[in-house]
Structure formats: structure tokens, C-alpha cells
Structure 1
Amino acid sequence: RYGCYFFVLCPNKHLEIIMFGSWILLFIPVPSHCLPLQVEIHEDFIQSCFDRLKASYDTLCVLDGDKDSINCARQEAIRMVRVLTVLKEYINECDSDYHEERTILPMSRAFRGKHITLIVRFPNQGRQVDDLDIWSHTNDTIGSVRRGILNRIKANAAHTKIELFIGGEIVDPADDRKLIGQLNLKDKTLITAKLTQVSANMPSSPDSSSDSSTGSPGNHGNHYSDGPNPEVESCLPGVIMSLHPRYISFLWQVADLGCNLNMPQLRDGARVLMKLMPPDNTTVENLRAVCLDHAKLGENSLSPSLDSRFFGPSPSQVLYLIEVVYALLMPASATLGEDASDFQYNFLKSGGLPLVLSMLTRNNFLPSADMETRRGAYLNALKIAKLLLTAVGFGHVKAVAEACQPNADGNIPVSPINQATHDQALVLQSALQNIPNPASECMLRNVAIRLAQQISDEASKYIPDICVIRAVQKIVWASGCGTVQLVFSNNDEISKIYEKTNAAKEPDGEDEQVCCEALEVMTLCFALMPTALDTLSKEKAWQTFIIDLLLHCHSKSVRQMAPG
């Protein structure tokens, strides 16, 4: 409350001082009837930050290129970075102080992360319980894993305490909000679980509760203290920002300015804030509405085309839109839920696959973007392409199989399926048993198989041509030596980077990710169009490409995935 007064009474003080006063709020319990006041304080603070950002932004936009202007620009950019940092810390602190389960997830973990299978063992239990395989992912929480275990064994969560042990050490219930990725758990990690029946009336012991535990004692050690609390969660500053499109729109401008001025701190400062906010509500609703409209009406739709959104002038906006699409296609939770299923179908039906493939093939996609922006866009576009191409593969196999089925009279109907198409479908069916990897991409495969049931009758029209394979090959080639910016350069220029063995850069983590995703997409394309490999293998450029990946690439992961 004192923080409220400090903020209201000192609106013209320096931002850092105002923030200090507002920060006091983080340590004062706010009754539910005061939530509107808390929202007002958050909104005032956010707006104060954005007013300062806008003033500096306007100054930067009108500066000339002389020496004095360059110095002034640097000072204004530093001011903007400081404001962005203060706002980032403010949102982080508010998020950390929210001790319940998050349901409105920040953009950074709104999508399903890398798949992790956890092996859960129950030693010394009264009844024999087999080991459980729990599907999780790097953007999942330990609390979610606890709930998943209780659901699998059909335990009464209100009267069952579950303790988890990793490597012999107990997992503190206070860590339930931590992500699997933050704990560096590997695939097939063994977790030991201990179940204890507790009475609903049993008082909680001082050492079993924490300052975040306000729920029933029976919940201690299970998961979040009180479960989701939408009323309070909607008052978090990041969530508030996601409800007002002006914030995300201006952050796109700030990030683009950082790119244009070659100031990575400014670009990244704006993008970190975008990651802390949940996906912008207006952006999400617009994408859902446009895809639904195009899926229903096709060419008769009056909605703006998807192309117009993803081939726009703002690189930061385009990157953000691709990230939102992936989060809607593969959300962190309820990946197989109805909302996700509807969007998966509508996005594909509205031309989502040709759109994503055009991002990978056209040189007018992000023509002025810097390397970091292009790399991020490619990574997400490749993930989307992998999902949709897998669905097309399963759908095509299903369509060919159905066309060859005998009718009610026992006669095989006359169909347009010739022997070559039938044979290629058999090759595709065999390939899809192993790609994408059944162990690491099991959820993606489940999503793709379900989507395939809905689009099998038109799957063949989505099969890519050899131009797509050539474009993806260039992405693999360029990112494999850490130079994704050379994707539209000639083959010799890329190959020279590999030939300079001592000078060649080992791709960093993000380049390696792009390269590996592109290799998977290329493999899927070959499975869908097997004749392409015969054509490419006769070309000198393809042979050089294979040699560069197998012999000269510094990344072990890439060498292992490279086609032989």
C-alpha cells in the first residue's frame, strides 16, 4: 500500500525510484478486493516505462548520421535498454511472487518443448506398481509431472502425498514451478516416487509448508499450493500487457530499431519482454479467426491472406507471428486438446503448409532481417513444416490404402491410383515408421496422425516438389557451418567456408538446431517424393553438400543426421 502512495505521489521522479516504490507491492499480500488497485498500479508503471521508451524512440528516429547524432543515438539506446531491463525485472519479480500454477503461459514456454520420457519407479510400496513412462517436455513443470503420476495411478490427489527422488535426492515441492528444462533432466531419467496417504484434517508440519503454501494441508508435497488462480494470474503485469495490442506493436518497432541500428542489446531487450508476456491476445484471436475463415470459405474468404501477414515489412513482427503459430499448433499443455486440434486443421486447410514452405524457399522472406531474426524464423518455420509434412505423409498413405480397398461387392474399384503411386506410398509408409523419430517426436507423431485422418482425401496436393528440397538443402548447408546468412549465396561460397577447416566456425546451439530441423524436413520431403533423391544425387552440388556435412562439419549431431 505504501508502494501505491509512493507511485501516485511521485509520478515525475526517476523511473528507478518509482520502480522501487512499486516493488514494495510485491511483498505486501493483496486482498482480492484490492486486485483492481493492483492492476491499476501495474498499468501505470507499464505505461510510465513505455512513455519513456517512446520518447527515446522518437528521438532516435529523427537523428541524422553525423558524429554528434551517433553519440546521442547511443545514449538514447542505452536509456531504452535500461528501461527495458527495469520492466523485465519487474515482470520477473511479479511472476516469481505468484506461487500458484500458471495457466496463461509466457511466450517463452507456451509451446511444447523437447520431448522427455521420465521413468517413474515405486519401490517398497504396499502393492506392486510397474514402472511408469511419463511423457513430459522441457517446457513442462515438475508440478505437472507430479499430477501426471497421480492421474496415471488413479490416486486421490487430496489424500495422497507424493515425494519424488532424482539421483537419491528429494525434489523439493517448492521447486514444482521449475521447468524440466531448467533441471537438465535427460530422456529416460529414472525418478523414484514414494506415496503416502494423508488425512485431510492433518495439520501441516512447519517444514513441509512454505510461504507459498496457502492450500489444504493434503496438497503439500503434491503440486502447487492452491492450483490455478485465474483472478490473480490475470493481474500479473505480463498478462496485462498481453491484453493490450499497443504494447506488442511498439515492442516490434523497438526490436526492429535495434536491428536497423545494429544494437543487439536493444533488439534483444525488446524480444525478451515479448517472451515474458503470454502470446498477445489480439494476435492469437486474429490468427484463429483468419485461419477459420479461410478453412471454411477457401477462395471466397474476404479475410486478409496469410501471406500478407508473414511477408510484411517488420521482421520482428513476422518472427513473433511464426512463434505464435507454433505455440498454437503445439501448445505446452493440452497438445491433443480440442482448441489445438481445431487450429491445426484450420491452419493446414487455410494454406499453412504452402505458406511455411514459401518462407523456406522465397528470397523475399525477411529480405532485410539480420542473422538472428532469420535464424529464429527458420527454426520455427521448420518445426511447423515438420509437423504438417508428417501429417501429409500419414494422410497420403491412408488415402492410397483406402483407394485400393475392395468395395462391398468384393471388387476393387477403378481408381486413379496407378502402380507407381501405390509403390511410392508403400515406401512412404515404411519411412514413416522411423521419421520423425518415434522416441523423441512421439507427441508430434500423435498430433500428425490425428490431423491426417481429417485431411487424407486431399493430402496429395500438399506434397512438396524438388524446389522445396533444394531450398531446405541450402538452409542445411549454410547453417551447418554457422553462416545461415549465406542461405541465398551460391553453393561455392558456402562450400568454401567448410573447406577452410581451421577457420570454419562450429555452429552454435541455435545454428545446430536449425540445421538438424532442416535435415529432418528434408528427409520427410524425400520420403514424400522419393524420385527427387535420384535426381539430386547425380548433381555435383549435392555430392559436395554431402562431403561438407560428413567430413567438414564441426557438429557431431549434424554429421550423425546427414544423409550418407
Structure 2
Amino acid sequence: MNDVGLIGLDYLWRVILFGSDPVAEKAIHLLKETYTSLGPRLVNNQVEIHEDLIGSCSDRLRASHDTLRAYIIQQQQQQPHEALVTEKDFANRSRQETTRMCRLLKLLQEYVNDYDCEFQMREERTLLPLGRAHRGKCFTLVVRFPNQGRQPEDIEIWTHSNETLATVRRRIMARVKSTNQTAALSATAGVNASLIQSQVVGHQQPTVQQQQSGMLTAKLSQSNTAVAGSPDSSSDSSTGGSPQHAPSSYQDKRINPFLCQLADLGSQLQHAQLRDAARNLLRQLPADPQAIERLVAASQIPLVVSSSPTVTSSEETGPIQSPSELESIFIAASPSTILYHLEVAYSLLMPANLSASEKTSEFQLGFILRGGIPL
């Protein structure tokens, strides 16, 4: 795409919203490919393009949600002798609006996934998607470096199923650079991502859950420039950054609560496709900053000052008996909101990256002292 003012774009949106399922499926794919295949003139305008597509989807989602919600309220408030909204009319309208919302959610899922796929960008991320922000199942990864005429060299790495390939590559390089036999290699040597053949590490890690160990075949290469995404492309103290121009970085701050509303609406209507589509999109996005702030603020380590000098430190830091502030986040909320806050809390307690950081330790301690989340 070389120009955002495409002829027929409005018609393509109409096909997505009102067309039959097979035709709408092709229209979704075409629109996603159009917005992800940018010409040279539009590469620098990716932020505006992300906002344009995401904003268009969000506006249409809200319109369908508000229409269906108003229809539900009208049906609930009508008197028994009135026939303003019949069961048949409500079923037809509900089916139309939920179908449109599911298609829009699918478009957003494919669009975000196309940009955020680690195998395409080869970059580490600071803000991981919520679905991979927590520590996964741990297993041993054997990295093999084949040598011609010699026995292959193996390195064992303790990793987990939600760790990205870019992070694994950085850890491999840290191990390789610390060995004596590779000390003669130049600082620009890196593990080439294109030469890594993964058997168990994938974008969604589909096979790791059934295995206790896996193997990667890697090859060291020397070049005049650092390999993109390798440890040498940034300082040793860097923890990696979120990919530039990732669409999930430009999501409206209100989108996460709204997606929880869509999931609740799907549960209310017993529409599993709408409920699951909204929750799956939530897991593809980074955790809501406002939800993180609420959980961190409610899990602050309490300052207990004792007037008795004989009180031990363990008594001073014992669990607080009134964890109402933390517990209130999970009370009087909708089911999807409670589930979302639980997933965010789990990602803070068991993060995929930086599990030994000071902030993580402080949150874990404060969470326990505040009483946690009672069952």
C-alpha cells in the first residue's frame, strides 16, 4: 500500500460487516494484508496507520455493542402485553451484531499477531502479551553446535515455554562468550536466527507442554555488524525493548475494559465465539497499565510500627488481617474482569522475564503480607 486513501476501502468494510462468512473471511485477510504490506512512503507512518485501523475497528465494535445492549435493555423493560421486541426479532438482531463483532475481533487478532510475532521481528520485548507474560512450564533446552569432523558441542539451558526465541538466543550468546574456547571470537559474533532450527520452540509453544526437554541446532557466525536482536546489538545491561511500531503499543487505554465487556456480553448471550474472541485478544495485548497500577498499589508492603521492643521481626511482618484493598479488586466486578485481573496478578507474581528483579520480589512480598486473594 502506497496511499491510505484507497478506493473501495469503505466497500471492503461493508463486506466484512455484512457479507457471508466465506466472503467476509477473504475480506478480512485482504484488509489485513493491505495494512501490513506498506510501501516505502508509508513505512514511517506506521503509527498513524495502526491508529487508523485500530480506531476504525474499535468504533465499529462499540457501535455494535451499544446497539445490541440497547436492544437487550429494550426487551427487558417492555411489558408482557407489549410486542415491541419479539423473541425472533431479538434472536436475529443478536446474531447479526455478534457476527459483526466476532469478525472485527478476528481482524484485530490477525493484525496484532502479524506484527507481534516474534519469529518475524526477532526482537525481545519488554511489554510481553498478557498470554505470554507469565512464566510457563519449565524444561531443559539443549543447544547443539555441530562441528565438522568433531563431536558436537552441547549447552544446556533451563528455560520455560513462554520464553521467546530472541531471549533464548541472547542467553545462548551469554553462555558462549563466557567459555574459553570461544574467547577468540570477535564481539560481533552472534547466533544467527535464520540458522536456528527449532523443534519445540514456536510462537504459541504448542508441543512444549508434552515434553520435558527439547533441542535447538545453532550455528555461530562472524560478521562486521551485530546480528539484529543479538546481545551485541545493544548494551549488555539492556533488557530488550518493545518492538518499534507494534500495534499493541498504540492500543487505546480503554480497549482492555471494553474487551472485558464484550466477553461478558458473550457470556450473557451464551455466545462462546464472542466471549473467546474477546478474551483471546486480551491475551494478545500487554497488560492494562491501570490494572497493573491498581494491583501494585494494593500490594504495597505495609509499614507496621510496633511500640513494644520485644516484638520480633517475623511478628512485625506477619500477614495483615484486613486485605480489603487488594481483595476489593476481585470483588463486585464482572466475571471477565475478575479473570483478567487474576491473569495480570499472575504475570506480576511469576513474570516470564526478570523473575529475580527487585520490583518482582517487592510485589510478591507485599502480595503475601496483604493476604493474597482468598478462595
Q: Output the TM-score relative to the length of structure 1.
A: 0.50
The correspondence of residues 195-274 of structure 1 with structure 2, limited to 5 A, is 195=220, 198=222, 200-201=223-224, 216=225, 218-219=226-227, 223=230, 230=241, 232-233=243-244, 235-241=245-251, 244-274=252-282
Measure the CA separation in 2 of the matches of 1:267 and 1:180: 20
Q: Hey, what does 2:332 align to over in structure 1?
A: 312
3-state SS in 2 of match to 1:134:
strand
Verify the 8 A CA contact 1:150 1:157 in the aligned structure 2: no
Q: Hey, what does 1:160 align to over in structure 2?
A: 189
Q: CA 1:84–1:25 in 2, change beyond 3 Å: closer, same or farther?
A: closer
Verify the 8 A CA contact 1:3 1:21 in the aligned structure 2: no
Measure the CA separation in 2 of the matches of 1:276 and 1:117: 26
Measure the CA separation in 2 of the matches of 1:126 and 1:343: 52
Measure the CA separation in 1 of the matches of 2:257 and 2:291: 10
Deviation at 1:282, TM superposition (A): 1.7
Q: Hey, what does 1:531 align to over in structure 2?
A: none
Q: Which one of the candidate residues 321, 345, 370 is aligned to 1:325?
A: 345
Verify the 8 A CA contact 1:2 1:24 in the aligned structure 2: no
Verify the 8 A CA contact 2:109 2:281 in the aligned structure 1: yes
3-state SS in 2 of match to 1:14:
helix
Q: CA 1:20–1:192 in 2, change beyond 3 Å: closer, same or farther?
A: closer
RMSD of aligned alpha carbons: 4.0
Q: CA 1:176–1:56 in 2, change beyond 3 Å: closer, same or farther?
A: same
Further displaced range: 83-92 or 38-47: 38-47
Verify the 8 A CA contact 2:146 2:153 in the aligned structure 1: no
Measure the CA separation in 1 of the matches of 2:123 and 2:153: 31
Q: Which one of the candidate residues 302, 327, 336 is aligned to 1:295?
A: 302
Measure the CA separation in 1 of the matches of 2:105 and 2:283: 13
Count of residues in Structure 1 that have an aligned counterpart in Structure 2 = 324
Verify the 8 A CA contact 1:121 1:191 in the aligned structure 2: yes
3-state SS in 1 of match to 2:156:
strand
The correspondence of residues 91-240 of structure 1 with structure 2, limited to 5 A, is 91-96=112-117, 98-120=121-143, 132-153=155-176, 154=178, 158-162=187-191, 171-172=196-197, 178-179=202-203, 181-182=205-206, 184=208, 186-191=211-216, 194-195=219-220, 198=222, 200-201=223-224, 216=225, 218-219=226-227, 223=230, 230=241, 232-233=243-244, 235-240=245-250
Q: Hey, what does 1:367 align to over in structure 2?
A: none
Q: Hey, what does 2:55 align to over in structure 1?
A: 47
Verify the 8 A CA contact 2:197 2:216 in the aligned structure 1: no
**What residue identity is the alignment partner of 2:125?**
R
**What residue identity is the alignment partner of 2:277?**
G
Q: Hey, what does 1:529 align to over in structure 2?
A: none
Q: Hey, what does 1:68 align to over in structure 2?
A: 89
Q: CA 1:308–1:231 in 2, change beyond 3 Å: closer, same or farther?
A: closer
Verify the 8 A CA contact 2:192 2:227 in the aligned structure 1: no
Q: CA 1:4–1:66 in 2, change beyond 3 Å: closer, same or farther?
A: same
Q: CA 1:194–1:240 in 2, change beyond 3 Å: closer, same or farther?
A: closer
Q: CA 1:43–1:284 in 2, change beyond 3 Å: closer, same or farther?
A: same
**What residue identity is the alignment partner of 2:34?**
I
Q: Hey, what does 2:101 align to over in structure 1?
A: 80
Deviation at 1:124, TM superposition (A): 5.1
Deviation at 1:4, TM superposition (A): 2.0
Q: Hey, what does 1:443 align to over in structure 2?
A: none
Deviation at 1:129, TM superposition (A): 9.8
**What residue identity is the alignment partner of 2:294?**
N
Q: Percent identity?
A: 37
Deviation at 1:84, TM superposition (A): 1.0
Q: CA 1:132–1:248 in 2, change beyond 3 Å: closer, same or farther?
A: same
Q: List alignment gaps of at least 5 residues for structure 2.
A: 17-26, 76-85, 305-318
Write the deviation string for residues 232-267 of structure 1: whole angstroms up to 9, x where unpaired: 53x3222222xx331011111100010011000010
Q: CA 1:238–1:193 in 2, change beyond 3 Å: closer, same or farther?
A: closer
Q: CA 1:21–1:225 in 2, change beyond 3 Å: closer, same or farther?
A: farther
The correspondence of residues 15-34 of structure 1 with structure 2, limited to 5 A, is 16=16, 20=30, 23-28=33-38
The correspondence of residues 431-510 of structure 1 with structure 2, limited to 5 A, is none
Determine whether 1:89 maps to 2:136. Answer: no
Q: List alignment gaps of at least 5 residues for structure 1.
A: 165-169, 202-215, 360-564
Q: CA 1:70–1:252 in 2, change beyond 3 Å: closer, same or farther?
A: same
Q: In proportion to residue count, which structure has more helix?
A: 1
**What residue identity is the alignment partner of 1:14?**
W
Measure the CA separation in 1 of the matches of 2:240 and 2:356: 23
Measure the CA separation in 2 of the matches of 1:142 and 1:129: 21
Deviation at 1:132, TM superposition (A): 3.7
Measure the CA separation in 1 of the matches of 2:266 and 2:137: 30
Q: Hey, what does 1:399 align to over in structure 2?
A: none
Q: CA 1:57–1:334 in 2, change beyond 3 Å: closer, same or farther?
A: same
Write the deviation string for residues 148-195 of structure 1: whole angstroms up to 9, x where unpaired: 22212315684334479xxxxx7349x998348246483233555554
Q: Output the TM-score relative to the length of structure 2.
A: 0.72
Verify the 8 A CA contact 1:146 1:162 in the aligned structure 2: yes
Q: Hey, what does 1:276 align to over in structure 2?
A: 284
Deviation at 1:127, TM superposition (A): 11
Q: CA 1:277–1:107 in 2, change beyond 3 Å: closer, same or farther?
A: same
